[in-house]
Structure 1
């Protein structure tokens, strides 16, 4: 059973809630156990140890036990992305990035044009609006903007594809294997390399 880590804000100590994190590394199993106490409730997080929190979130090997606050979060279902011209956006997401349309999702039942695209087992929901967002004034580096992050296997291959298409991008400023670019409506996209 794979449940996800609580939000990062619940991992920080809050004097009001009396949360005290305890982290124990278990080298033999390459796992980390985090135990927190909040008043009379206990929370345990068992997650595979990786070099970053991003790797933990991508691994889906996380187990969270939460008593009264568990309302059944399973995973991210989809990300909504606004676009001005559906055909132009589909050309980018389908033809350049290779995403496939989820034909099972309704198109004609919504009061606007759109499309659902598979990203692994989750989706991007493109929604056409006449003036979705201002395209000027955004930071050059998409990592400083609201963005959608897609896990990929090979950043260098995507770099070649973007170069051939003449699409500008920036590499991650942290040095990790990741590329930030923008779609035709200047929505920021991050592509991060995972194992």
Structure 2
């Protein structure tokens, strides 16, 4: 649970009853205020409506965005890295993401790289199969995945590793680059 990714827009059907309930409450307040002091009732109703709009705007466009960025992985940045690699020195079939538990959805990386339908996952037990692929090669790893990093070092001792500094703190990843063999 859940079987699908949570999304703000999945609750869209709840909008109608929520607005009816909020509108009924505002109407009841306005009637009570109008019975007390009519011009002030209208002013208070408009002020309450404006305050509600400002609070909702802040929740949706600031708080939700901040929490969403902190709770999801940066598949877009990984896709940009793989897309740049594929268009410059490598190719789309020479880059991989080594999966790690609770990390990025490797299918999204393919979409962001510009290759929808490509799943860039290459599990650690399949790393040796990349020896047949000509260099240059690029592997993306989670920094905590030291076992896969050591396995790659054993396969490619002439490789280079960089830490990609993500735009969101704590979402960095490693770039394991295998250059073309000098002849």
- TM-score scaled to structure 2, two decimals? 0.28
Q: Which has the higher helix share?
A: 2
Q: Which has the higher strand share?
A: 1
- TM-score scaled to structure 1, two decimals? 0.27
